[in-house]
Amino acid sequence: MWPHVGDWHDVIVTARLVVVSGLPASGKSAVGAALAERLGMPIIDKDAILEALFETLGSPDLLERRWLSRASDEVLYALAGASPAAAAGSG
């Protein structure tokens, strides 16, 4: 059973990880940043990880781009697992 509207504050405050997921260009980064600020949690942004991997390793073709995207997922999960409280974004 889902909590009542008034009970959501307790659910969110006790959460250790918030994941924001959605379609490309749907506002995930903006929502994640707002949640992180509001909840006083650090943010781990998959787009930032993926961009750093692209800049460092390059991505000459679609297959390697997908490989780097999966690698950025693993980095995201590792960082989130090591953080006592984090707001994570994944597209």
Residue 47 sits in a domain whose CATH number is 3.40.50.300
13 domain-assigned: no
3 domain-assigned: no
In order of 32, 50, 70, 71, 73, the CA distances from 59 in angstroms are 26, 11, 13, 12, 16
pLDDT at 18: 78
Task: Map residue 4 onto helix, strand or coil.
Answer: coil
In order of 4, 30, 85, the CA distances from 7 in angstroms are 5, 24, 20
pLDDT tens digit at each of 91 positions of the chain: 455 555 655 555 555 677 888 888 999 889 989 988 888 888 888 888 888 988 888 877 888 888 988 999 899 888 887 776 655 555 5
Residues 16 and 84: beta-carbon distance below 8 Å: yes
10 domain-assigned: no
pLDDT at 1: 46
pLDDT at 88: 56
29 domain-assigned: yes
